[in-house]
Amino acid sequence: MDNQKPNIRMMQGNSACAEGAIAAGCRFFAGYPITPSSEIAEDLATKLPAIGGSFIQMEDEIAAMGAVIGASLTGVKSLTATSGPGFSLKQENIGFAAMAEVPVVIVNVMRGGPSTGLPTHTSQADVMQARWGTHGDHEIIALCPASVREMFDMTVKAFNFSEKFRTPVILLPDEIVAHLNEKVELPDYASLEIVNRSKPTVPPEKYLPYEMVESDVPPMAFFGEGYRYHVTGLAHDETGFPTNDPEKVEEQVRRINRKIERYRDEIVEVEELLTDDMDVLVVAYGSTARSAKRAVMIARENGIKAGLLRLKTLWPFPDKEIEKIYRRANKIVVPEMNLGQIAHEVEWATRREKPVVRINRVNGEPLTPKEIFEGIKG
């Protein structure tokens, strides 16, 4: 890209996600159409084949998740996108990817209500499902964009984390961010930091796919390159074959948790605004953080010292970052388009030492700056 001609355009959030996937090296998409994520699939259906990639519409979301796992095992960076009920259907295979340590990226564009709910309306009610939707003990990475440009940037980051830590990563925009159109300047793709999974340096006969290495992230061989190894969702030893040996099971399960926990400071990202002298701390994420930012400015205009902590990473939860600043405030306000899912985590992180005011909405409409300001003022 010519540096004298910046790549400036009007772009929708979902399209920015598709563009970010391509920039990160994604060359396989499998999915099933579902509002409000369908534009990601529509864009990649055209763009991937044009650059030598593959797009496939599967018969359902379960199969789509299985397909991206299979493609990733062959060495292809893979993406699926869904919403609401589709995310529920993917959960078992997300757990499989976590246990088998297969890097994949899952986009869940959050929409309103249980079941079929409000397919064309917004919500932030899947944040707990992103963390706890699968069974068993394992960590997860979930990133939450608040703008069209962040849809691009965080998609790239999701692929990088997935490849670096051999794990599924979830991108968790809400419908507003996904369907928002904004003027964005995309970076020169050549300038992006792109991470690729570490490959083994030993011959196939000496390769252990789940070896207990110092980094806690074993190198990953590609199927089709001469390395043959067993992949299973069952508890397994270093060879990948199932085992009931309690010591082997313990060390492997602890390792797949530890490989995220030990690098959490590299993963977790927040943004602070006017927190140095604040009396009121607002904790927000996604499109709600946009309203929260305006509410904080309104509060300042009215003589109330409010500050904003925007959560760009939802999981691992930014508890340390909250612990670092919450005592500066007299109260905490948590606006979100659910009935208090992240507010609960904020209460845990602050040990309930400060009052936490919840501002919640579950009718598919966004929270406004005025509503959040009322919570700050009250």
Domain positions in the chain are 7-191, 269-377
pLDDT in tens, the chain (378 residues): 445 567 899 999 999 999 999 999 999 999 999 999 999 999 999 999 999 999 999 999 999 999 999 999 999 999 999 999 999 999 999 999 999 999 999 999 999 999 999 999 999 999 999 999 999 999 999 999 999 999 999 999 999 999 999 999 999 999 999 999 999 999 999 999 999 999 999 999 999 999 999 999 999 999 999 999 999 999 999 999 999 999 999 999 999 999 999 999 999 999 999 999 999 999 999 999 999 999 999 999 999 999 999 999 999 999 999 999 999 999 999 999 999 999 999 999 999 999 999 999 999 999 999 999 999 998
Domain 269-377 belongs in CATH node 3.40.50.920? yes
Mapping DSSP onto H, E and C, the string for the chain reads CCCCCCEEEEEEHHHHHHHHHHHHCCCEEEECCCCCCHHHHHHHHHHHHHCCCEEEECCCHHHHHHHHHHHHHCCCCEEEEECHHHHHHHHHHHHHHHHHCCCEEEEECEEECCCCCEEEEECCCCHHHHHHCCCCCCCCEEECCCCHHHHHHHHHHHHHHHHHHCCEEEECCEHHHHHCEEEEEECCHHHCCCCCCCCCCCCHHHCCCCCCCCCCCCCCCCCCCCCCCCCCCCCECCCCCECCCHHHHHHHHHHHHHHHHCCHHHHCCEEEECCCCCCEEEEECHHHHHHHHHHHHHHHHCCCCEEEEEECEEECCCHHHHHHHHHHCCEEEEEECCCCHHHHHHHHHCCCCCCEEEEECCCCCCCCHHHHHHHHHC
Question: What CATH number does domain 7-191 carry, 3.40.570.10, 3.40.50.970, 3.30.1360.20, 3.40.720.10?
Answer: 3.40.50.970
**CATH topology match: 7-191 vs 269-377:** yes
What's the whole-model pTM score? 0.97
